[in-house]
Amino acid sequence: MKFAVIEDGEHQVIVKEGEQIQLAFRKNLKENDEITINNVLLIKDDKSSVIGTPYVNNSKVKLTLVKHFKDVKVRVIKYKPKTTYRRNRGHRQPYSIFKVNSIS
């Protein structure tokens, strides 16, 4: 089975062909748009493996955007005793789901 390790911003993600992965939110893309990632750190198949220094030369991973979504809400609460200081905020991190088309 062929897989690769790609770098997306500060994250490293293991990808396999045909799989769906969750990456950082891409604002300028619409559904079914295709992107190519050239930051491939490692490619491995049944017979061989190639490790980049830091990236593998002439390698790329093609992805198709499936959808955008927001993660579950995280509550951020600040509280200081003996005063009337209380803050309650929520945050939902945006993500994008991509389908891996090909690894080359």
CA dist 83 and 53 (Å) reads: 55
pLDDT at residue 90 is higher than 90: yes
Q: What is the mean pLDDT of residues 66-89?
A: 97
Sequence spans of domains, the chain: 3-103
Q: Please give the single-letter amino acid code of residue 18.
A: G
pLDDT at residue 75 is higher than 90: yes
> What percent of the chain clears pLDDT 90, i.e. is strictly above it?
92
User: CB–CB of 90/78 below 8 Å?
Assistant: no
Chain segment 34-67, per-residue pLDDT in tens: 999 999 999 999 999 999 999 999 999 999 999 9
Q: Are strands 20-24 and 40-44 parallel, antiparallel or unpaired?
A: unpaired
> What percent of the chain clears pLDDT 70, i.e. is strictly above it?
100
User: CB–CB of 18/50 below 8 Å?
Assistant: no
> CB burial class (10 A; 0-12, 13-18, 19+) of residue 75?
exposed
